[in-house]
Structure formats: C-alpha cells, structure tokens
Amino acid sequence: MNTEEAVKALPKAELHVHILGSVRPRTLLSIMQEAGDGTDMSEREIRDRFRFSDFGHFIEVYKTIIQYVTDERYFERFAFEMMEDCAASNSKYVEVSFSPIDHVQQDLDYFSMIDAIRRGLHRAENRFDIQSDIRIDLVRHSDSQAAMLVLDWVEQDMQGIVSIDIGGSEHKFPPAPFADAYRRASEMGLHLVAHAGEAAGPQSIWDAIRLLQVERIGHGVTAVQDPKLMAELKKRDIVIEACPVSNIRTGAVPSIAEHPIREFYDYGLIVTVNSDDPTLFNTDLNNEFIQLHRHLGFTLQELTQLSLNAVQAAFLEEGLKEQLRARFVRESDLVLKSIGPTED
C-alpha cells in the first residue's frame, strides 16, 4: 500500500457537506429531463453547464439547480446517493446540511422533504454502515422571520436534526439579524454553526462568535488575517470546518498550497476537513486529504488527527462519540502499520 492508498483507507468523518451540492450529474440530468429540460444533454455537458467562475457565480449556479428540484421525493435519492459517495471515501459519520427555505419558496413541503431525507439516510446507514445527522441551514438570504418559521417546523419533529447554520453571501447578509433565531435554536437544544470568513473578512467570524455564539465556523479562511481572532478561536475551542478545494474553486484562496489549514493546524486550532459541495467542486473527502498531503505536507499521522478532530467536533452524544473515536483509532492504526515507517 502506497501513501495515497493509505490516505484513502483512513476512516473519515465529514461535518460540512450540502445535500444539494452533492447531487450526482446523472441524477441532476434525470430530474432536468423529468422537467422537460436537458433531454439531449450528456453528463459531461451537465458538468459544463453548471461550472462557475467565482463565489458570486457559484451562488447563481446553486440557485439554478434549486429550480429543478420540483418534487419532495427526490430528496430520498439525493440523500442515499450522497451517503453512498461519502462511504466511497471511507466516511463513517456525516452531518448533512439541508436548506429547506430554498425549496419551500419553490412550493415544496418541508415535512415531506425532511421525511424523504431521513428515509435516504436510513437506507444508506443499513447499506454502507455509515452514521449521519442533519444540519438545517437557515440561509443568509432569507430574513429573520423566515428563519423563525423554519425553526417552527424543526421544533415539531427534531428527529436526527442536531444543528443550525447560515450559508450564502456574507457581504450582502451579515449575521446580526439571525441572533434571535440562534438564541431560540440553542434553547431548543440545537448546536450552532455559521459559515463565516469564506468570502468576507475576519469581522464576519467575530460577529458569528459574539452575536450567534457559534460552536463551529464553516470555512473561516480569513481568520488567519487576525492574530487576536486566532487566539480567541483557540481559547474557546471553536472548530473550523475547512473546505480546501471549495475555497480554491470559489476563489476564496488562490491555491491549495496557500490554504490556511496548515496554519490552523500548526497553531493548535481544532480544524476538520470537508468537501462542502462535492459535485459542484469535483471533489470528495479522499481528494481533499490527498491534496493536503501533496501540497501542504500533511503526514498520515496528521491526516489521522484531522479525522479525530472531526470525531471530537461531531454533534453526537458522548457515548456514540467514544465508540466512533475508538473505531477511528483502531482502523487508523491498522492503516499506519500497513504503510511502514518510511512511506510517509
């Protein structure tokens, strides 16, 4: 087994991955054809059609895909195939991000969608031995009233839902209007996450910490620009959900070699690795780990620690977390022993 084969064999956990950004091109083509569009297109042409040039264009592409999701039943297939792809990277635990308001605004029913997602995740758990939970993205471009409405729905049936988030354009939609929704979510027993410092500066992260009281930051690349912020993240044990390839694709970071994940890791932050929107960014968790090994010199032992960081940060009850950690340690040790001391 060479080093990159060993990287693929390491057990992994993914905390930041969007269900819509994981839809396979073949599946997207299928639902487009069902809607009467794309009947003469190939999967390759689908990939080309939804290619983007920067973060703003990515948001527009994402909105376009939303328009093709016209039936709640699609979400069972989306969830199952997403988990099948995660399992192919040897992921053992995934927190699945779902943005219901985007689809409710297209006249879909929240409860039908969330039930479909649960069915897909349950089938995948039985088929691939992979655990999962759900994160609800309140999305920045919705208003605080819409966020409260989503929490009304969540409160009626919280099965499998562990956290909330806000994704989208930081420049246009700062976190302050969501402070009341985050307080309410915390009172409901949900964990708190926010996309921040991806397409905006360190102040966006400060605001997420101070106004939303978050436990984890999605992306957070601009934290490296502010030494006081780095110290605050470390002091509070706030987790960074790094998405390296995503940040390159959207232009948030010029190259993998310049990604701050190495600085985060060396500074002692609790940083994890994630694929974000794997279909749109043409990546998966295996690729993310391999890129870090090739371009930032992460050793197998360090990549193992990144996986253990994800277990530590997972929104699991302590008993399940300890079981998962023990599994990761056991399986990682087998991989490290198979590679030998000179291969890394």
Q: What is the pLDDT of residue 48?
A: 73
Identify the residue whose tokens are 């870090």.
292
Tokens read off for 298: 């992460």
**pLDDT exceeds cutoff 80 at 26:** yes
Identify the residue whose tokens are 């694929």.
275
Structural domain spans, the chain: 3-25+75-339
Q: What is the pLDDT of residue 39?
A: 62
Tokens read off for 130: 């992979």
**Residue 259 contacts residue 232 (beta carbons within 8 Å):** no
Interval 42-71 mean pLDDT: 77
- Superfamily for the 3-25+75-339 domain: Metal-dependent hydrolases (3.20.20.140)
Structure confidence by residue, pLDDT tens digits, 109-144: 999 999 999 999 999 999 999 999 999 999 998 888
Which of 23-37, 168-182, 291-305 ranks highest by mean pLDDT? 291-305
Please identify every residue annotated as catalytic. Answer: 198
Tokens read off for 217: 């930051």
Q: What is the pLDDT of residue 132?
A: 98
Q: What is the pLDDT of residue 118?
A: 98
Instruction: Return the H-helix or E-strand segment holding 120.
Output: helix 110-128
Q: Are strands 191-196 and 216-219 parallel, antiparallel or unpaired?
A: parallel
Q: Which of 147, 155, 135, 170 is nearest to 15 (CA)?
A: 135
3-state secondary structure of 137: strand
Q: How far apart are the C-alpha atoms of 79 and 102, rounded to whole Å?
A: 17
E strand residue ranges, the chain: 12-18, 91-98, 131-137, 161-165, 191-196, 216-219, 239-242, 271-273
Interval 269-288 mean pLDDT: 95
Higher pLDDT, 185 or 47: 185
Q: What is the pLDDT of residue 341?
A: 60
**pLDDT exceeds cutoff 60 at 73:** yes
Q: DSSP class of residue 252?
A: S
Please state the separation of Cα 234 from the chain's center in Å: 21
**pLDDT exceeds cutoff 60 at 343:** no
Quote the Cα angle for 315-273-270, to 5°.
Answer: 65
**pLDDT exceeds cutoff 60 at 169:** yes
Q: How far apart are the C-alpha atoms of 302 and 265, rounded to whole Å?
A: 9
Q: DSSP class of residue 75?
A: H
Q: Which residues pair with 240 in a beta bridge?
A: 217, 271
Q: What pLDDT band is residue 38 in, cutting at 50, 70 and 90?
A: low
Concatenated DSSP letters for 8-27?
HHS-EEEEEEESGGG--HHH
pTM (whole model) above 0.85:
yes
**pLDDT exceeds cutoff 70 at 344:** no
Q: Which of 299, 301, 322 is nearest to 312 (CA)?
A: 322
Q: What is the mean pLDDT of the chain?
A: 93
Measured torsion, CA atoms of residues 13, 16, 19, 24, in degrees rounded to the nearest 10: -70
Q: What is the pLDDT of residue 338?
A: 87
Structure confidence by residue, pLDDT tens digits, 186-229: 999 999 999 999 989 999 999 999 999 999 999 999 999 999 99
- Angstrom CA distances, 34 to 26, 37, 69, 74, 82, stand at 12, 7, 10, 11, 20
**Is the alpha carbon torsion for 122, 126, 132, 133 positive or negative?**
positive
Tokens read off for 232: 């605050």
